[in-house]
Amino acid sequence: MKLTKQFVLAALAVLLIIPAFGRGAEVKVIASPADLVPDFSTLAQKGDYLVSDGKFVALLGASARQVVTSANYPHGQAMGSLLALSPSGQDFCGDLNFGMPVLRIKDKTHYPAYTRIDRDPAGTAAKLLSFAASGVYKDNEGKTADIRTTYLFHPGKGQIEVSSTLTNAGQVAFEDLSYSLFFDAYHRYYFRPYDEAKFASLNFRVYQKKGFHLALLNLNPVEKEESRFPGKLAPGQKCEVRYILFVDSSATGLLQKIYGILNVPAVKASASFRDYDGDWMELVVREAVTSSVFFRAVLEKSVYQEFLLPPGYYRLQANFFPAVVEELAEIKLD
């Protein structure tokens, strides 16, 4: 009997609401593996900070050491970096490496290490939890810079705001300079809707990890080879880079937060799959004109999937391996 595979799209307008403020986050200094949820981290060591609340659990490195990262990446630094993040109460591996300073000066890339990380009073007034990592960059050409990176945790939201300031503390200007923070999700499967002409504000990546989704929103200028950020940093000047990291059990939850922060209207859409009895499949949603990917996920024994999309025309592709089914759909607000 020939198996037919079809899917139907439905869409409804929704109000993007960020979850209400939850209970305060708790901080524990790791003394032994017993302090960790099983399988949560392969990177943790005694002395690291474990941050948890009802929504997420996170790990901040507190000792100077290198950690192995994904293939083709340099070894990451543990001190002052976020080393794991996942939803609370689940035995999911949350390994990642985020926060190490990256300076690209002309044709060379440098990875200065932090020298300390401390609880930061910056979030106290807003009843948030904050940590600050600090370090110094120096080279043989007389360039010196102070580095300070802040992690601001939003209890109950699965959301961490990260900002890093690079200050030229010497007498020599930085020329042809690019500054950013290293990020390795320990996972290669993701989607990113950014398009320079049409979706310049949607500079984020969503990763489907085992049991949950992770997203990084990059709020900084998108660099080109001929236009780096900040480009030049004179003595006494500073530049700041900003990111927001999200964790949620579903991609829809992450997208709701991201589109809300960016003030992008979005529509809740759903795809249903008829006459499909396979173990798994892949759903990819691309904007029809630019082919920017607005959703991508591997689904197991799924007959229904929800996601969020800005209004527009989209091409939905269901990969049943080897069969492929495509549909063109318009998403619009009521």
Residue with the bigger pLDDT between 76 and 150: it is: 150
pLDDT score of 146: 98
Count helices and strands in the chain by DSSP H and E runs: 1, 25
Q: In the 3-class helix/strand/coil scheme, how is 200-269 assigned residue by residue? A: CCCCEEEEEECCEEEEEEECCCCCECCECCEEEECCCCEEEEEEEEEEECCHHHHHHHHHHHCCCCCEEE
Any idea which of 33-37, 120-124, 175-179 has the lowest mean pLDDT?
120-124
Same domain flag for 322 and 183: no
Same domain flag for 226 and 192: yes
My answer on whether omega of the bond before 322 falls inside 30° of 0, hence cis, is: yes
pLDDT score of 129: 92
Percent of the chain with pLDDT over 90: 69
Same domain flag for 257 and 272: no
Q: What is the mean pLDDT of the chain?
A: 88
- Is 238 part of any domain? yes
Q: What is the pTM of this model?
A: 0.90
Same domain flag for 301 and 253: no
Q: Which of 216, 231, 261 is the last residue of a domain?
A: 261
In angstroms, rounded to a whole number, what is the distance separating the alpha carbons of residues 144 and 125? 33
Q: How confident is the model at residue 23 (pLDDT cuts 50, 70, 90)?
A: low
pLDDT score of 9: 44
- Is 1 part of any domain? no
- Is 256 part of any domain? yes
- Is 185 part of any domain? yes
Domains of the chain: total: 2
Q: How confident is the model at residue 288 (pLDDT cuts 50, 70, 90)?
A: very high
Any idea which of 35-39, 70-74, 96-100, 216-220 has the lowest mean pLDDT?
70-74
Give the CA distances from residue 275 to residues 8, 17, 132, 316, in Å, rounded to whole numbers and listed in that order.
12, 35, 53, 17
Give the domain range for residue 158. 17-261
Res 1 pLDDT > 70: no
Q: Which among 86, 83, 58 has a CA at the least distance from the CA of 68?
A: 83
Same domain flag for 65 and 119: yes
160 sits in which H/E element: strand 159-168
- What number is the average pLDDT over the span 308-321? 94
Place of tokens 């595979």: 5
CATH number of 54's domain:
2.70.98
| DSSP designation for 329 | E
Res 54 pLDDT > 60: yes
- DSSP annotation string for 68-93: --STTSPPEE-TTSEEEEEETTS---
Q: How confident is the model at residue 128 (pLDDT cuts 50, 70, 90)?
A: confident
Same domain flag for 250 and 274: no
Same domain flag for 116 and 257: yes
- What number is the average pLDDT over the span 18-22? 32
Same domain flag for 229 and 325: no
pLDDT score of 272: 86
Res 2 pLDDT > 50: no
Res 278 pLDDT > 80: no
Spatial CB neighbours of 118, under 8 Å, sequence gap ≥ 6 = 131, 132
Q: What is the pLDDT of residues 194-214, one digit of tens each?
A: 999 999 999 999 999 999 999
Q: How confident is the model at residue 293 (pLDDT cuts 50, 70, 90)?
A: very high
Same domain flag for 315 and 208: no
Same domain flag for 88 and 227: yes
- What number is the average pLDDT over the span 213-223? 96
- Is 214 part of any domain? yes
- Is 251 part of any domain? yes
CATH number of 321's domain:
2.60.40.3080
Q: How confident is the model at residue 22 (pLDDT cuts 50, 70, 90)?
A: very low
Q: Which of 261, 289, 323 is the last residue of a domain?
A: 261
Same domain flag for 195 and 234: yes
Q: Which of 226, 246, 261 is the last residue of a domain?
A: 261
- Is 172 part of any domain? yes
Same domain flag for 214 and 227: yes
pLDDT score of 25: 81
